Amino acid sequence: MPDLTTDVRYIKGVGEQRAKSLLKLNIRTLQDLISYFPRSYDDRRAFRCISDLQPGESACVKAMVAAPPTLNRIRRGLELVKLRAVDGSGTLDVTFFNQVYLKDSLHPGETYIFYGKAEGAHLRKTMTNPLVEREDSRGLTGRIVPVYPLTAGISQGTMVKAIEQGLSACSGLLPDPLPEEVRTAHHLCRIEYAYRQIHFPDDEEQLAGARRRLVFEELFLLAIGLKKLRRRRDVLTCPPYAGTDLSDFYARLPFSLTGAQRKVIGEILSDFSAGRPMNRLVQGDVGSGKTMVAAAAIVCAARNGKQAALMAPTEILAEQHYRGLSPLLESLGVTCSLLTGGMPAKTRRAVLAGLQSGETHLVIGTHALISADVEYAGLGLVVADEQHRFGVNQRAALSAKGERPHLLVMSATPIPRTLALMIYGDLDVSVISELPPGRQKIDTFAVTSAYHQRIYNFLRKEIAAGRQAYVICSMVEENDAIPDDRKAAAEYAGMLQTQIFPDLRVDCVHGRMKPKEKDKVMSAFAAGEIHILVSTTVVEVGVDVPNATVMVVEDADRFGLSQLHQLRGRVGRGEHKSYCILISDNRSEESRARLKIMAQTGDGFKIAEEDLRLRGPGDFFGQRQHGLPALKVADLSCDMSLLHEAQQAAEELLRQDPELRGCPVTAQRVRQMFELNADTLN
């Protein structure tokens, strides 16, 4: 008798070998298998008679094989099976390439369903390599067919069969994480029905219903988990900091802080004196001056005898922070050190010793700073810069360090407030809502690829004037679950280097590089040794190369607006006039409207609001920049009202049953989602 934890290899039709391939898609158990949702769907419901087939149209045809299929060997490695099928309205000539077995498995006089793209005119139609199956099998034709992200060794057909088997294997076994009252109150379908329909929908309406239910479930569990986290920290205490005079800090800055910066610093200081560990997210657009806000918090902690750790997402960013902050902080009596992986052992020991003795007030590094081998005399404040790689789980790991340090998370991803309140349910949110005065606008243009030559000329002109440029190329989505961006970036860089800019230095970074290699290229770019840096989306968050003045984005319509805004924020960081060129051949209304917004405004929050209006919150979840547990369906589709509904339902349930005693399945799924053990979530 299988249960949801049964290894997929025991599912009929899977076996050892395929189980190994499925593992690459993170599918281990029956539960994983049935939760592997389609990426899209192929609507193969349309049936036509042969005479009605339109050239270029994909459709199903029910036709009888008229004569034995023939086999032709054209040349070595190319074998054609041909057959003629009829349905009373006309004749269909079917050709299969390299599928010799079909010669003997399709029998004259029998009727089959062919699904494919038709060509030809009048009564003589053709199909090349159609899907074919017996009239009575109806697996791949005649219905809406799921399309799954795949990996080597697993075909769509295998996946479809495995999931069908999986669904029947757990028939009657699926426990519902939604309590019955919640499910009915919100008009949601039953879990088993939802799973079946999300994989094999009867029609669009059933699919929408299934999705709605699964999205709701996911957001509901997420909301419960976050609310529990929040409640857990609400009962924690820590000694309040004394009021701190920061006037010497302000006096040493070469500029005066903006009102927004001062307001946020005020919010942090009041958290410090509240006697509870702070858990605050500071959102501020690129360039809004988050670093100085963090610096103020660090000085305050140091003056209260506490140490601070500043975590950057990469070593190169950590070094940049160290160089930028330590002169200012040291002059205020805050001792700083840098901890990186590449340090000589002796230096590293000295840094660790300084932290252990309390001599060092601030340490800057990557998330390794909160690992077990770094000991602090009294860690009072952790600052995470660019929080998207600092998830809920790490936050939990932090409080486990015993000291209950204050946590300040800084993010440049502007998220509309309504959404922020939901997805950062366990954090307080501050917004730096204004940029320092005198920032120049980055001129933004949306053009078609007909402008390539002009763009290249423009790049050449800027580079001749001593500047540098980024070129972002998009990734062609392949059938793989993990698309390979290495190829896209390397090919594009190679083309630019050899065909367009043979006299300049072009290099590339991509997601499959080791952090060290990536840092090396980024450092060379920062040092001005590379003129044009090609990359997919991975241009390291926050990297400061003031000399870079042009950001070119290929296939700009494939990026979310907020993502484009982040990319644009890589330029305009120095004294030079900067430009952003968005290339897209997508002529759809929506795409044009979106790119127009980019050209019109530089305000990240406005852009995010527009993005939310145009595309719904799915994108924000999809970006995974929030450090939340990975969502499976909410990525696909979800609207704001559903988000609110799920959140309210979660609140209501927790009010009635704070320990979730009445719904163990819900409790267990929440724990699973956050991958924490029972007592950290309670």
Contacting positions for ligand ADP (CB under 6 A) = 255, 257-258, 261, 284, 286-292, 412, 436
Shortest gap between Cβ of 436 and ligand ADP (angstroms)?
A: 3
| Smaller CB separation from ligand ADP, 438 or 502 | 438
- The CB-nearest residue to Mg ion is 542
Give the span between the Cα atoms of 187 and 190, in whole angstroms.
10
Beta strand 443-447 with 579-583: parallel, antiparallel or unpaired? parallel
Closest CA to 338 of 355, 351, 356, 354: 351
Q: Which residues pair with 72 in a beta bridge?
A: 80
> How far is C-alpha 299 from the geometric centre of its chain's CA atoms?
34
| Smaller CB separation from Mg ion, 288 or 535 | 288
- The CB-nearest residue to ligand ADP is 289
CB 210 within 8 A of CB 193: yes
DSSP 8-state assignment for residue 629: P
Q: Which residues contact 109 (CB under 8 A, 6 or more apart)?
A: 64, 65
Shortest gap between Cβ of 545 and ligand ADP (angstroms)?
A: 12
Q: At which residue do the structure tokens 């990536």 appear? A: 518
Q: Angle between the 315-331 and 515-526 helix axes, to the nearest 10 degrees?
A: 60
Q: At which residue do the structure tokens 């599928």 appear? A: 99
258 binds, among ligand ADP, Mg ion, none (CB under 5 to 8 A by kind): ligand ADP
| Smaller CB separation from Mg ion, 201 or 602 | 602
Residues, the chain:
682
- The beta strands (E) that lie in 176-306 are given as 279-284
Shortest gap between Cβ of 47 and Mg ion (angstroms)?
A: 58
Shortest gap between Cβ of 438 and ligand ADP (angstroms)?
A: 7
Name the residues that contact Mg ion, by CB under 5 A.
542
Shortest gap between Cβ of 471 and Mg ion (angstroms)?
A: 23
287 binds, among Mg ion, ligand ADP, none (CB under 5 to 8 A by kind): ligand ADP
- State the Rg of the chain over Cα: 29
| Smaller CB separation from Mg ion, 365 or 542 | 542
Shortest gap between Cβ of 410 and ligand ADP (angstroms)?
A: 7
288 binds, among ligand ADP, Mg ion, none (CB under 5 to 8 A by kind): ligand ADP
| Smaller CB separation from Mg ion, 414 or 542 | 542
64: helix, coil or strand? Answer: strand
Give the span between the Cα atoms of 347 and 355, in whole angstroms.
13
Q: List C-alpha distances in Å: 232 to 227, 316, 454, 681.
A: 9, 35, 58, 7
474 binds, among Mg ion, ligand ADP, none (CB under 5 to 8 A by kind): none
572 binds, among ligand ADP, Mg ion, none (CB under 5 to 8 A by kind): none
15: left (phi over 0), alpha (psi -120 to 50) or beta: left
Give the span between the Cα atoms of 576 and 292, in whole angstroms.
23
For 49, the token pair is: 């008679």
284 binds, among Mg ion, ligand ADP, none (CB under 5 to 8 A by kind): ligand ADP
What angle is formed at CA 629 by the lines to CA 543 and CA 405, rounded to 5 degrees?
70
289 binds, among Mg ion, ligand ADP, none (CB under 5 to 8 A by kind): ligand ADP
Give the span between the Cα atoms of 588 and 581, in whole angstroms.
19
| Smaller CB separation from ligand ADP, 257 or 663 | 257
| Smaller CB separation from Mg ion, 365 or 617 | 365
Shortest gap between Cβ of 433 and Mg ion (angstroms)?
A: 16
Shortest gap between Cβ of 320 and Mg ion (angstroms)?
A: 9
Shortest gap between Cβ of 415 and ligand ADP (angstroms)?
A: 15
Q: Angle between the 561-568 and 604-615 helix axes, to the nearest 10 degrees?
A: 160
| Smaller CB separation from ligand ADP, 229 or 412 | 412
436 binds, among Mg ion, ligand ADP, none (CB under 5 to 8 A by kind): ligand ADP
| Smaller CB separation from ligand ADP, 157 or 259 | 259
